[in-house]
């Protein structure tokens, strides 16, 4: 039976289809990029969408002293980070190498926050030297920060990451603000941390931080967390701390992966929901957009190797796999998939890669036109937590990344080669 292809609302205008049925990014046909490249698969980014996403946060925060701290873990491409820096963004980091990327991109360290539940001593030495804000995540983390600050002979500006114990109602792997999370301090232990900080002249407590998780679609959850954090701010001030400058409310807004017209909160929805609490706090607000900043700026593009059937199921086999994009396999996550050029009859397929795992799929039970061999296939909304989680499983090289700007495009990270992988071995 032939079924109709699903109607899809496209929330990212830079990706569309031209009059001949070819998918475009801004003013460039994706098929043309594929034809010009000597490697596949690849990630293709829209600069226009990145700028639009940043401006949406900028507009939402008007009237509030604020820092937009892009979460580099979502996408660490240096050119993407540089564009955001030029727009005025700060950065949020979870490793020493991410801090190095922020420094290399020219980020303002006063708008940069170093998070993490397992920061190493060497990473903390570098962070203190750079002068970025540092989150205290545990008792041992506090002691390591103290030792690093004493060795560097420089005051460390610190925030305390407090778990508000608010359920973000998301996949458990991306839930971070519950009492049982590995991140942050116990609420009941706040007074101990405050007393310990008072003992050390090398620490200046400048703020508090919370982060609920990722892919959040209910902004009222942020309101609950903000109200809880206001209580902690009052407790800290009552202990004599007059140095508080920042309330970091984290990130976590979801995006429209399903593309079925579901209402997805915008940055303005998030900020307006908690604006009264932010105003009452009287602090500079730090937000940490990652997925909502870069998720919808990219597509992951592969080529169809062939189409096959098992009798009961049809498969599209592509040269893209879980090695380059693991979200569907790791989280059972859904990302919309379409062809980059016209196809044939409408059928239902599993889209799978060549990696030797049954878990190697990009999508299951997708209704779409039948492609011919060599057709381009695009996984939408691939800008966040996709390339950064790529691996060399089955000796697959990491793919190229392409940036489109109007009617021009350029490689912003070349594809890895076999020789690159071999170069890591001792001679």
The answer on 417 and 374 residing in a single domain is: yes
- Indicate the residue among 251, 274, 289 that finishes a domain: 289
The answer on 344 and 248 residing in a single domain is: no
Q: Give the pLDDT of residue 119.
A: 96
SS (H, E, C) the chain: CCCCCCCCCCCCCCEEECCCCCEEECCEEHHHHHHHCCCCCEEEEEHHHHHHHHHHHHHHCCCCCEEEEEEHHHCCCHHHHHHHHHHCCEEEECCHHHHHHHHHHCCCHHHEEECCCCCCHHHHHHHHHHCCEEEECCHHHHHHHHHHHHHHCCCEEEEEEECCCCCCCCCHHHECCCCCCCCCECHHHHHHHHHHHHCCCCEEEEEEECCCECCECCCHHHHHHHHHHHHHHHHHHHCCCCCCCEEEEECCECCCCCCCCCCCCCHHHHHHHHHHHHHHHCCEEEECCCHHHHHHHEEEEEEEEEEEECCCCEEEEECCCCCCCCHHHHHCCCCCEEECCCCCCEEEEEEECCCCCCCCEEEEEEEEECCCCCCEEEECCCCCCCHHHCCCHHHCCCCEEEEEECCEEEEEECCCCHHHHHCCCCC
For residue 246, is it within any domain?
yes
The answer on 243 and 321 residing in a single domain is: no
Active site residues: 356
CATH code of the domain containing 380: 2.40.37.10
DSSP 300: E
The answer on 283 and 315 residing in a single domain is: no
The answer on 348 and 220 residing in a single domain is: no
Residue 315 has phi, psi (to 5 degrees) of -125, 135
For residue 63, is it within any domain?
no
Burial classification of residue 39, based on how many CB atoms lie within 10 Å of its CB (0-12 exposed, 13-18 middle, 19 or more buried): middle
Q: Give the pLDDT of residue 165.
A: 63
Q: Give the pLDDT of residue 172.
A: 44
For residue 330, is it within any domain?
yes
For residue 146, is it within any domain?
yes
| pLDDT tens, N- to C-terminus, the chain (427 residues) | 344 444 444 556 799 999 999 999 999 999 999 999 999 999 999 999 999 999 999 999 999 999 999 999 999 999 999 999 999 999 999 999 999 999 999 999 999 999 998 999 999 999 999 999 999 999 999 999 999 999 999 999 999 998 876 644 443 433 343 445 555 676 678 889 999 999 999 999 999 998 877 678 878 888 888 888 888 899 999 999 999 999 999 888 889 898 887 788 899 998 998 898 889 889 999 999 999 999 999 999 999 999 999 888 999 999 999 999 999 999 999 999 999 999 999 999 999 999 999 999 999 999 999 999 999 999 999 999 999 999 999 999 999 999 999 999 999 999 999 999 999 997 7
Looking at the DSSP bridge assignments, the partners of residue 71 are 92
The answer on 276 and 160 residing in a single domain is: yes
For residue 35, is it within any domain?
yes
Structure tokens at 64: 């509030």
For residue 4, is it within any domain?
no
- Report, in angstroms and rounded to the nearest whole number, the Rg of the chain calculated over CA atoms: 23
The answer on 401 and 307 residing in a single domain is: yes
Q: Where in the sequence is the domain holding 349, given as residue range(s)?
A: 15-46+296-422
Whether the Cβ atoms of residue 290 and residue 70 lie closer than 8 Å to each other: yes
CATH code of the domain containing 227: 3.20.20.10
Q: Rounded to whole angstroms, how far apart are CA atoms 135 and 160?
A: 6
- Indicate the residue among 249, 267, 289 that finishes a domain: 289
Structure tokens at 427: 């001679």
The answer on 285 and 351 residing in a single domain is: no
For residue 102, is it within any domain?
no
For residue 123, is it within any domain?
yes
Whether the Cβ atoms of residue 337 and residue 380 lie closer than 8 Å to each other: yes
Q: Are strands 361-369 and 346-352 parallel, antiparallel or unpaired?
A: antiparallel
Structure tokens at 300: 């992951």
Whether the Cβ atoms of residue 340 and residue 395 lie closer than 8 Å to each other: no
Closest to 175 (Cα-Cα) out of 204, 218, 219, 214:
214
How many independent structural domains does the chain possess?
2
The answer on 283 and 300 residing in a single domain is: no
Q: Rounded to whole angstroms, how far apart are CA atoms 286 and 247?
A: 6
The answer on 267 and 130 residing in a single domain is: yes
* Cα angle: 291, vertex 295, 299; to 5 degrees: 160
The answer on 239 and 174 residing in a single domain is: yes
Q: Give the pLDDT of residue 173.
A: 37
- Indicate the residue among 242, 260, 289 that finishes a domain: 289
Q: Give the pLDDT of residue 380.
A: 96
The answer on 256 and 140 residing in a single domain is: yes
């Amino acid at each position: 039976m032939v079924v109709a292809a699903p109607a899809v609302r496209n929330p990212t205008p830079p990706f569309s289809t031209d009059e001949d049925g070819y998918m475009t990014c801004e003013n460039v046909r994706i098929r043309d990029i594929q034809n010009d490249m000597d490697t596949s698969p690849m990630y293709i980014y829209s600069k226009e969408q990145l700028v639009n996403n940043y401006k949406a946060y900028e507009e939402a925060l008007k009237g509030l002293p604020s820092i937009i701290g892009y979460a580099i873990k979502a996408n660490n491409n240096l050119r993407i980070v540089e564009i955001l820096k030029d727009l005025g963004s700060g950065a949020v980091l979870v490793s020493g190498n991410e801090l190095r990327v922020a420094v290399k991109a020219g980020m303002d360290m006063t708008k940069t926050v170093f998070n993490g539940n397992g920061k190493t001593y060497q990473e903390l030495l570098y962070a203190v030297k750079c002068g970025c804000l540092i989150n205290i995540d545990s008792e041992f983390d506090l002691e390591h920060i103290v030792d690093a600050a004493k060795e560097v002979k420089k005051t460390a500006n610190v925030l305390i990451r407090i778990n508000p114990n608010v359920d973000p109602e998301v996949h458990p792997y991306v839930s971070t603000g519950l009492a049982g999370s590995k991140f942050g301090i116990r609420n009941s232990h706040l007074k101990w941390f405050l007393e310990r900080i008072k003992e050390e002249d090398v620490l200046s407590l400048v703020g508090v931080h919370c982060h609920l998780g990722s892919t959040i679609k209910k902004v009222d959850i942020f309101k609950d967390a903000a109200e809880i954090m206001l209580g902690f701010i009052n407790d800290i001030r009552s202990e004599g701390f007059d140095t508080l400058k920042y309330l970091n409310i984290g990130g976590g807004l979801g995006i429209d992966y399903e593309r079925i017209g579901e209402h997805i909160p915008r940055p303005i929805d998030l900020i307006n929901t908690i604006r009264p609490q932010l105003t009452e706090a009287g602090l500079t607000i730090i937000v940490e957009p990652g997925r909502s900043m870069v998720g919808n700026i990219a597509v992951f593009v592969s080529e169809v190797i062939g189409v096959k059937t098992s009798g009961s199921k049809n498969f599209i086999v592509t040269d893209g796999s879980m090695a380059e994009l693991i979200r569907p396999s790791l989280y059972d996550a859904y990302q919309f998939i379409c062809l980059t050029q016209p196809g044939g009859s409408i059928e239902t397929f599993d889209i799978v890669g060549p990696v030797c795992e049954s878990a190697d799929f990009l999508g299951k039970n997708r209704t779409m036109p039948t492609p011919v061999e060599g057709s381009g296939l695009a996984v939408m909304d691939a800008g966040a937590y996709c390339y950064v989680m790529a691996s060399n499983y089955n000796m697959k090289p990491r793919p190229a990344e392409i940036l489109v700007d109007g009617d021009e495009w350029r490689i912003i990270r070349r594809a890895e080669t076999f020789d690159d992988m071999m170069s890591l071995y001792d001679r």
